[in-house]
Structure 1
Amino acid sequence: MEMPPGPMPDKSMNMMMQMSFYWGKDATILFYGWPGNKLGMYVLALFFVFLLAFAIEVLSILPDVKPTSTKPMLGALTQTIIYTIRMGFGYLVMLSVMSFNLGIFIAALAGHFVGFFLVKSRALAVPKPTETTSRTAVIPKV
């Protein structure tokens, strides 16, 4: 059988990508050779993915800030920048999880969990005006 034209595969480029979840500190996350095979660097990678996922949840509430009426373009630009940063972080978390390392997957889930919990608990703690607090009862004097 004849080989197709094009570059021949090099035996030194024998890189196999993991295609199922696995445990272990030997992983390649985002960049070739990172975090390496040292436990400290792996823990740093877990913390980095956790922070990225946490930041996504925190940044998800910032676009709700209303632009000022005096400078609507500045408000729109601010919201666009925050959205772009959040999407960039989202893609980095997605690429990290695609390493199929179970520790990285759990760190990403934990970051989203903690971030969502803190953001939503703060939002629920703010009292919302109700009908009874917005109206004042007028009691006629006798």
Structure 2
Amino acid sequence: MENMNGDHMHGMMHNNSAMPPAPAMHHRRMMMHMTFYWGTDALILFTGWPRTSSGMYALALIVVFLLAFLAEFLSHSQLMNPGSANHVTAGLVQTLLHALRVGLAYLVMLAVMSFNGGVFLAAVAGHSLGFLLFGSRAFKKSPAAVPGKTSDLPRPMSC
């Protein structure tokens, strides 16, 4: 499907009836993918990033991997010693950690919404390695200090 300016629409419905035709405009519109695709031509999180450079694309994949890995670290780590802080301080620290974990998870989700296969695999790999190292029993040396408590944060919701 092609519109009047010669841009390919690739099956997306686009309503140009509200806008008058502008034949003098020759810039290309960035079309958002609605299915998974492979390649380094991606738009991840920010306008113009990672551009068309394969090196920047590799950096973007590493950033997505690290964001997912850090989200898993925060989900499964006990960063505060039980009983070391008063309840108000502990509650504030838990709230800040929760906000950070949720923010990281949303950034990973938005990156995956680029529908780039490499970004999807980087996010899954980051979450998987993070869970293997911090959430699974594979590398646990001893049981948690408080029985049944494995994290400073409430357990992540499961679907």
TM range (shorter): 0.7 to 0.9
**Are the counterparts in 2 of residues 62 and 82 from structure 1 also a CA contact under 8 Å?**
no
Task: Tell whether the 8 Å contact from 1:23 to 1:102 is kept in structure 2 after alignment.
Answer: yes
- The residue that corresponds to 1:122 in the other structure is 139
> Is the aligned partner of 1:93 residue 2:104?
no
Distance, in Å, in 1 between the alignment partners of 2:105 and 2:124 is 12
> How do 1:37-76 residues align onto structure 2 when only pairs under 5 Å count?
37-62=52-77, 65=80, 68=83, 71-76=86-91
- Paired residues in the alignment total 124
Counterpart in the other structure of 1:107? 122
- Code of the aligned partner of 1:122: F
Provide the TM-score with structure 2 as the length reference. 0.69
Contact 1:27 1:36 in 2 (8 A): yes
Give how far 1:67 is off.
5.3
Following superposition, the deviation at residue 35 of structure 1 comes to 0.4
Match in the other structure for 1:135? none
Structure 1: distance between partners of 2:49 and 2:129: 25
Q: Give the alignment's Cα RMSD to 1 decimal.
A: 2.5
Paired AA for residue 46 in structure 2: F
Give aligned-pair identity as a percent: 48
Q: Is the 8 A contact 1:50 1:111 kept in 2?
A: yes
**2:37 aligned counterpart, secondary structure:** coil
Alignment match, 2:45: 30
8 Å contact kept, 1:28–1:36: yes
Change (3 A) 1:15 1:64: same
**Once the 2 structures are TM-superposed, how far is the Cα of residue 128 of structure 1 from its aligned partner?**
7.2
Distance 1:39 1:105 in 2: 17
Structure 2 spans left out of the alignment, 5+ residues:
1-16, 146-159
Alignment of 1:84 with 2:99, yes or no, is yes
Assess if the C-alpha contact under 8 Å between 1:63 and 1:82 holds in 2: no
Displaced runs of 4 or more, over 6 A: none
**Residue identity in the other structure for 1:100:** F
Q: Is the 8 A contact 1:67 1:75 kept in 2?
A: no
**Secondary structure at 1:15 match in 2:** coil
Gaps of 5+ in 1: 130-142
TM-score normalised per structure 1: 0.76
Residue type at the aligned position of 1:18: H
**Structure 1 residues 126 and 19, CA gap change in structure 2 (3 angstroms):** same
Structure that is richer in helix per residue: 1
Deviation at 1:16, TM superposition (A): 1.1
